[in-house]
Amino acid sequence: MSNGMEDLTGVTLTAESGRKYKLTKQAGSGAQGVVYEENGNNYMVKLYYPSGSESIDADVLDRLRFIKDIAMPKNFVSIIDLITLPYIGYVMEKVTEHKPLNSYLIPDRNVSFPEWYNQGLGLYERIFVGYIIAKAFGELEKSNLSYCDISGNNILIKIAKGASVKMIDVDNIYTAGKGKSAILGTPRYIAPEVISRQKNPDVLSDNYSLAVILFELLRVGHPYISDDVLDGTPEDEENALAGNADYVTDDNSTNMLPADIVFTDKLKELFRRCFEDGKHNRLSRPSATEFEQALLEASNKVIKCPSCGAWHYPRKDGKSYAGCPWCDSPSRPKAMLNFYDILFEGTDYQTGKILDSKAGKKLVNSYVLKESRKNLVKGLYVLRFDDPSKERRTADNYITIAHNEQGYHAYNEFGKDGIVIKQYGTNKYIRVGKNKALQLHSGDEIYFEMDTNKAISIECGGKKYSFIRMARFMEEKA
């Protein structure tokens, strides 16, 4: 074996804990070392290539001990034991039933691109995958830890039977003030300031790497690899990855999916902040939590084409909807829930006059209501998933909007007080009691008299005005 390491297949190693691991076969190798499976089939053993320096080996072992003692977020596969002979390494749990994120990033040449991209739940599934990745990195971010080597090989995904994401190779995790990371990262995802050696990997460089992964997941291309760079030399690509290229536009990046097809306006802005403002101003980069929320919102905007089955965002074309971007067949949402902040006179929204100006009613967000499943309204947005195959019921949910043969209904299945519906075209406000349901008609307004949604009052020119958030149900006409 190269790099001064012999093949250890069949060899039994004793870890620091005294536990023995018999290496059965090599599972992979990389720049740092080799990974083996062991005979119990429950663990993986990573061994580093010999450095030839006792001091370097001692530093590596110290860093591994430090990482082993970190209270790692649940999605990160922890170091559970250390190996010191004949090579330095560590033991981690074996991840099963997951596939590398690269399966979403690198097209399968055996099928057409549309078939590959839209497999499973297509865009909806990709948004979900991005959401659980961003959520996991948000937990790491809260601990002031940086992963340092975000890549499609190190992120493992499972969708069926309890969706989850697992991050492996945690030996590169870094925390400020605790030495240096052992690796800069995977070239395609390394932040420009790390490539230039101006900064060590940290939370802000992780934010950049995460944004690149999410960009690739949705658009299937790199934010700095334009058509010209793709058709150029390896040096052109190297310079682009180092941040010496402009953020791509739809016009100069025909090698990837158009932004309008796979990004919401919120996602467009987050990516712009990262790859324009954040290229050199690291503090401008969106956090993992910002991406988590934006992807959750995006999940509420997709619809399924009735003709080809592809998931996509409904796109307005004047007063009507444009066709499905994949097959051009008619495809539109059946119903929407639009959230507004309204400004009214006085302190009672039921009697106060709403101001006529733009400030009087501001659209906050719009969500597509699904016919095939319950729509759970939580925290004044529609909760779509923690698993795309099942709904998430928690005490924080406000109300359910469900569909049957009669149409859409607002159902107070969570027993909340303060669910009030104003029927369209009337001044009638109906309070929906616990376990009660009310059929909705287009234009009906839903008010949430919750502690988290109290009307906020201000005084101006001797008059009182108040803000409150409400939702309007709208059915789209065929």
Q: 416 is written with which tokens?
A: 């909340």
At residue 111 the predicted structure's pLDDT band, cuts being 50, 70 and 90, is very high
Q: 40 is written with which tokens?
A: 């119990």
* pLDDT given for residue 382 in this prediction: 62
Handedness of CA 358, 297, 447, 440 (dihedral sign): positive
pLDDT digits (tens, 9 = 90+) for 459-475: 888 889 888 888 999 99
* pLDDT, mean of residues 240-250: 91
Cα distance between residue 453 and residue 327, in whole Å: 42
- Considering 66-75, 79-88, 167-176, 264-273, the range whose residues carry the highest mean pLDDT is 264-273
The three-state secondary structure class of 107 is coil
**Candidates 3.30.70.20, 3.40.50.11440, 3.30.200.20, 3.30.2320.30; correct CATH number of 12-93?**
3.30.200.20
Q: What is the mean pLDDT of the chain?
A: 87
At residue 335 the predicted structure's pLDDT band, cuts being 50, 70 and 90, is very high
Where is 350: in which H helix or E strand?
none
The residues spanned by each domain of the chain are: 12-93, 99-299, 334-475
Task: Using the predicted structure, report yes or no on whether residue 60 has a pLDDT greater than 80.
Answer: yes
The three-state secondary structure class of 20 is strand
Thinking of the domain 334-475, which architecture would CATH place it in?
Sandwich (2.60)
Q: Which residue in the block uniquely carries the two structure tokens 């376990």?
A: 435
CB atoms within 10 A of CB 283: 8
β-bridge mates for residue 90, sequence order: 46, 82
Percent of the residues in the chain that have a pLDDT greater than 90, as a whole number: 50
**Between 29 and 35, whose confidence is greater?**
35
- Homologous superfamily (CATH) of 99-299 is Transferase(Phosphotransferase) domain 1 (1.10.510.10)
pLDDT digits (tens, 9 = 90+) for 350-365: 988 888 766 668 888 8
**Between 405 and 269, whose confidence is greater?**
269
Q: 430 is written with which tokens?
A: 């109906």
Cβ atoms of residues 190 and 150 within 8 Å: no
Where is 319: in which H helix or E strand?
none
At residue 381 the predicted structure's pLDDT band, cuts being 50, 70 and 90, is low
Lowest mean pLDDT among 336-340, 353-357, 382-386: 382-386
Q: How many CA atoms lie within 13 A of 217 on its CB side?
A: 29
Where is 411: in which H helix or E strand?
strand 407-411
Cβ atoms of residues 274 and 286 within 8 Å: yes
* pLDDT given for residue 182 in this prediction: 52
* pLDDT, mean of residues 101-111: 95
Cβ atoms of residues 23 and 38 within 8 Å: yes
Q: What is the DSSP string of 140-188?
A: HHHTTEE-S---TTTEEEE-SSS-EEEE--GGG-EETTS---S----GG
Cα distance between residue 220 and residue 457, in whole Å: 47
Cβ atoms of residues 187 and 35 within 8 Å: no
Task: Using the predicted structure, report yes or no on whether residue 4 has a pLDDT greater than 80.
Answer: no
Cα distance between residue 17 and residue 40, in whole Å: 17
The answer to whether the peptide bond before residue 192 is cis (omega within 30 degrees of 0) is no
Residues with Cβ within 8 Å of 113's Cβ and at least 6 positions away in sequence, in order, are 107
Task: Using the predicted structure, report yes or no on whether residue 443 has a pLDDT greater than 90.
Answer: yes
The three-state secondary structure class of 445 is strand
Cα distance between residue 193 and residue 408, in whole Å: 52
Q: Specify burial of residue 284 (Cβ count, 10 A radius: 0-12, 13-18, 19+).
A: middle
Looking only at the bridges linking them, the beta strands covering 381-383 and 361-368 are unpaired
Task: Using the predicted structure, report yes or no on whether residue 27 has a pLDDT greater than 60.
Answer: yes
* pLDDT given for residue 450 in this prediction: 75
Task: Using the predicted structure, report yes or no on whether residue 215 has a pLDDT greater than 70.
Answer: yes
* pLDDT, mean of residues 234-249: 92
The residue among 147, 136, 156 whose CA lies nearest residue 27 is 156
Task: Using the predicted structure, report yes or no on whether residue 388 has a pLDDT greater than 60.
Answer: no
CB atoms within 10 A of CB 360: 16
pLDDT digits (tens, 9 = 90+) for 119-150: 999 999 999 999 999 999 999 988 888 888 88
Residues with Cβ within 8 Å of 240's Cβ and at least 6 positions away in sequence, in order, are 222, 224, 225, 226, 229
Q: 350 is written with which tokens?
A: 């039921």
Helices marked H in 242-347: 259-262, 265-275, 288-299
| C-alpha dist (Å) from residue 351 to 418, 423, 429, 466 | 17, 15, 11, 12
Task: Using the predicted structure, report yes or no on whether residue 394 has a pLDDT greater than 70.
Answer: no
Cα distance between residue 210 and residue 119, in whole Å: 23
Percent of the residues in the chain that have a pLDDT greater than 70, as a whole number: 91
* pLDDT, mean of residues 247-251: 92
Overall residue count recorded for the chain in this entry: 478
Where is 64: in which H helix or E strand?
helix 54-68
**Between 28 and 383, whose confidence is greater?**
28
Looking only at the bridges linking them, the beta strands covering 375-378 and 381-383 are antiparallel
Q: What is the pTM of this model?
A: 0.86
* pLDDT given for residue 247 in this prediction: 94
At residue 284 the predicted structure's pLDDT band, cuts being 50, 70 and 90, is very high
Q: How far is CA 290 from its chain centroid?
A: 9
Q: How many CA atoms lie within 13 A of 214 on its CB side?
A: 33
β-bridge mates for residue 164, sequence order: 158
* pLDDT given for residue 311 in this prediction: 96
Cβ atoms of residues 276 and 293 within 8 Å: no
Handedness of CA 187, 190, 194, 196 (dihedral sign): positive
* pLDDT given for residue 280 in this prediction: 86
**Between 181 and 185, whose confidence is greater?**
185
